[in-house]
C-alpha cells in the first residue's frame, strides 16, 4: 500500500509541474530568447580609419572576390580551349576604336513598314487585288476632281505669231492687256489654264450667289479630296513595289543551274534588279 501511495504522490507532483518542465525546454530551444551577440564598434582611437568591418561586410566582400576569381578562371579556361579557326558574325559586324568596341552601322533597310507587312502575307494575288482596288479608287477620284488646280501649275508657253514689217512671220511679244484682248477674256483670268471663259460668255453667265461659309466648306471638301487622292497614289506605289518584290522573290526560289547576278539592290521605292543568264531548255 505504501508503494501505491508513493506512486500516486509522484504522479500528482508530475501533473502539477508538467507545464513548468515543458516551457523550460521550449525556452532552451527558442532562439528568440537568446542573447543577441553584438559586434563591437570602431574604437575611439581608430575612428579616423572609418567604420569597423563587420562579418556581414566581410562575407559580401569575400563573395564578390570569389565571383571574380571564378570568372577569371573561366575566361582563362576558354582562352586555352579557344579554336583559332572559329568565326562569329560579330567579328565583322563590330570595329575597335581607341581600344573600345563599337557596332558597325547597318545598311538602311530596303523595305518600308508597309512593304514588310505585306510581304509577311506572302501572297502575290492579294497584293495585286489590293493594288487594283487602289487604282480604281484613284481613277474615280481623278474623274471627280479633274485635276484643275494641278493644270494651273504647269508652265505652258502660248506663242502668238504675226506679220512683221516686211511681211514675214514673226513671234509677237504681248503685254497682259494685249494678250487678254487676243484671247477675248478678262486680264484676271489669264493665269487659268482651264475653264477660261470669254467676255461674251461672262456677260451671259449667271453665277450663283454663295456665302463665304459655303465657299469655305467647298474649299475644305476639295482640299480633303486632294489629300485623299495623294495618300491613295502613295499607297498604290507602295503596293506596286511590294508586288514586284514578291514576284522577284518567287522567281528566285525556282531551281536554276546558274545563279542570277544582282545588278542593283532594292530600296523602299524600287525593287531589286537581277540579271538572269540564258539557260538552254533542251
Give the pLDDT confidence of 90-129 residue by residue, as tens digits.
888 888 888 888 888 877 777 787 777 677 666 788 888 9
CB within 8 Å of 270: residues ≥ 6 apart:
241, 264
Output the pLDDT for position 223.
Answer: 86
Domain that holds residue 265: 113-154+216-275
pLDDT at residue 138 is higher than 80: yes
User: What CA–CA distance (Å, rounded) separates 270 from 133?
Assistant: 21
Output the pLDDT for position 75.
Answer: 95
Is residue 227 domain-resident?
yes
CB 245 within 8 Å of CB 118: no
- Residue 62, C-alpha cell as written in the block: 569575400
User: What CA–CA distance (Å, rounded) separates 266 from 252?
Assistant: 14
Is residue 262 domain-resident?
yes
Q: Binning pLDDT at 50, 70 and 90, where does residue 274 land? A: very high
User: What CA–CA distance (Å, rounded) separates 154 from 176?
Assistant: 19
Is residue 189 domain-resident?
no
Is residue 231 domain-resident?
yes
Output the pLDDT for position 121.
Answer: 66
List the single range of 16-20, 22-26, 136-140 with lowest mean pLDDT. 22-26
Is residue 77 domain-resident?
no
Give the helix/strand (H/E) hosting 102: strand 100-103
Is residue 38 domain-resident?
no
> How many structural domains does the chain have?
1
Output the pLDDT for position 166.
Answer: 74
Is residue 92 domain-resident?
no
pLDDT at residue 18 is higher than 70: no
Output the pLDDT for position 2.
Answer: 59
pLDDT at residue 35 is higher than 80: no
Q: Binning pLDDT at 50, 70 and 90, where does residue 211 land? A: confident
Segment 149-160 mean pLDDT:
66
pLDDT at residue 19 is higher than 70: no
Q: Work out the percent of the chain whose per-residue pLDDT is above 90.
A: 18
Output the pLDDT for position 15.
Answer: 66
pLDDT at residue 183 is higher than 80: no
CB within 8 Å of 44: residues ≥ 6 apart:
none
User: What CA–CA distance (Å, rounded) separates 117 from 123?
Assistant: 11
Amino acid at each position: 500500500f505504501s508503494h501505491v501511495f508513493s506512486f500516486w504522490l509522484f504522479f500528482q507532483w508530475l501533473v502539477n509541474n508538467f507545464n513548468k518542465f515543458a516551457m523550460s525546454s521550449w525556452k532552451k530551444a527558442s532562439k528568440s530568447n537568446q542573447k543577441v551577440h553584438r559586434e563591437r564598434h570602431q574604437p575611439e582611437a581608430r575612428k579616423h580609419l572609418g567604420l569597423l568591418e563587420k562579418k556581414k561586410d566581410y562575407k559580401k566582400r569575400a563573395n564578390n572576390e570569389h565571383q571574380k576569381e571564378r570568372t577569371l578562371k573561366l575566361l582563362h579556361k576558354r582562352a586555352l580551349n579557344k579554336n583559332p579557326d572559329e568565326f562569329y558574325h560579330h567579328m565583322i559586324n563590330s570595329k575597335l576604336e581607341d581600344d573600345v568596341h563599337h557596332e558597325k552601322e547597318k545598311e538602311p533597310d530596303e523595305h518600308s513598314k508597309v512593304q514588310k507587312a505585306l510581304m509577311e502575307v506572302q501572297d502575290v494575288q492579294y497584293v495585286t487585288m489590293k493594288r487594283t482596288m487602289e487604282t480604281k479608287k484613284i481613277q474615280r477620284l481623278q474623274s471627280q476632281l479633274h485635276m484643275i488646280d494641278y493644270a494651273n501649275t504647269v508652265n505652258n508657253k502660248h506663242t502668238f505669231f504675226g506679220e512683221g514689217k516686211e511681211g514675214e512671220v514673226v513671234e509677237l511679244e504681248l503685254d497682259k492687256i494685249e494678250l487678254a484682248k487676243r484671247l477675248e477674256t478678262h486680264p484676271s483670268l489669264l493665269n487659268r489654264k482651264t475653264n477660261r471663259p470669254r467676255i461674251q460668255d461672262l456677260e451671259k453667265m449667271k453665277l450663283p450667289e454663295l456665302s463665304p461659309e459655303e465657299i469655305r466648306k467647298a474649299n475644305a471638301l476639295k482640299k480633303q479630296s486632294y489629300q485623299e487622292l495623294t495618300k491613295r497614289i502613295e499607297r498604290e506605289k507602295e503596293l506596286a513595289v511590294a508586288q514586284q518584290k514578291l514576284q522577284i522573290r518567287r522567281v528566285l526560289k525556282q531551281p536554276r543551274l546558274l545563279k542570277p547576278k544582282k545588278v542593283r539592290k532594292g530600296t523602299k521605292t524600287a525593287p531589286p534588279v537581277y540579271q538572269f543568264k540564258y539557260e538552254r531548255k533542251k
